[in-house]
Amino acid sequence: MSPSTLRVVLADDHHFFREGLRGVLVADGITVAGEAVNGAEAVALTGELAPDVVVMDLAMPGSGGIDAIAQLTAASPAVAVVVLTVSVDGDDVLRALTAGARSYLLKDTRTDELAGCVRQTAGGQTVLSPEVAEMLTARALEHAREDGAAAVAHASTALPALTARETDVLRLVVDGADNAAIGRALSISPHTVKQYMTNIFEKLEVSSRVQAAVYAVRSGLA
């Protein structure tokens, strides 16, 4: 996707925050096609403007973010949703991802990283703030323990054959690393990381980084 064609809708009830976010994205060459102050407006604007990405807060008056994510992803499945919020609550994260959000970022994300996260999401990647990735990992570990040793042993008998390097990549995904960080850690190119991720998704039969991380933890791969 050409940088000049990336179109975004912002959904946040705080005017000054939207204004600052708009400035960050526009400075990076991203077009802000519309702005909403609640979930209902976000759904309506998405249907009207057909953006590539919707950047959405969860806590908004009236129709909130979770319901809006479910509605707009059902009506416009090609649109990627980036949650940008203050909440790292586990239930909020899981509800948002289950509703169809592709990425989940906290509002303390560095401004020089935000535009890149939006672009990565538009390109099909899932981007999580480190705190969110850690929370998901902790949840997965908790559920794995609750499942008991028998379930873990059963899972281990059917593990896919990942290469050593694919396992290294997957462990970094569990730690919350994005493709750029994985490339730096393993001294490989972003293109190579992307190919490893494709292989991992196919072998684990998952469609997102979150699913891959949960699979890895519950199966003892990472």
Are 217 and 140 spatial neighbours (Cβ–Cβ below 8 Å)? yes
CATH architecture of structural domain 144-219: Orthogonal Bundle (1.10)
Residues linked to residue 34 through DSSP beta bridges, in sequence order: 9
Please determine, for residue 179, whether its predicted confidence score (pLDDT) is greater than 50.
yes
Strands (E) across 12-123 are located at: 31-36, 53-56, 80-85, 103-106
Q: What pLDDT score was predicted for residue 39?
A: 92
Write out the DSSP string of 161-199.
Answer: ---HHHHHHHHHHHTT--HHHHHHHHT--HHHHHHHHHH
CB 47 within 8 A of CB 71: no
User: What is the percentage of the chain residues whose pLDDT exceeds 90?
Assistant: 58
Domain ranges of the chain: 3-131, 144-219
Residue 150's pLDDT band (boundaries 50, 70, 90)? very low
Q: What is the DSSP letter of 11?
A: E
pLDDT for position 3: 46
Nearest to 71 by CA among 61, 86, 81: 81
Average pLDDT value for the chain: 86
144-219 and 3-131 share a CATH fold: no
Note the pTM of the prediction, 2 decimals.
0.70
- In this predicted model, which residue has the larger pLDDT, 110 or 211? 110
Angle between helices 190-204 and 209-219 (to 10 degrees): 60
Query: Would you call 10 helix, strand, or coil by DSSP?
Result: strand
pLDDT band at 90 (very low <50, low <70, confident <90, very high): confident
Strands 53-56 and 7-11: parallel
Give the single-character DSSP code of 177.
-
Write the CATH number of the domain with boundaries 3-131: 3.40.50.2300
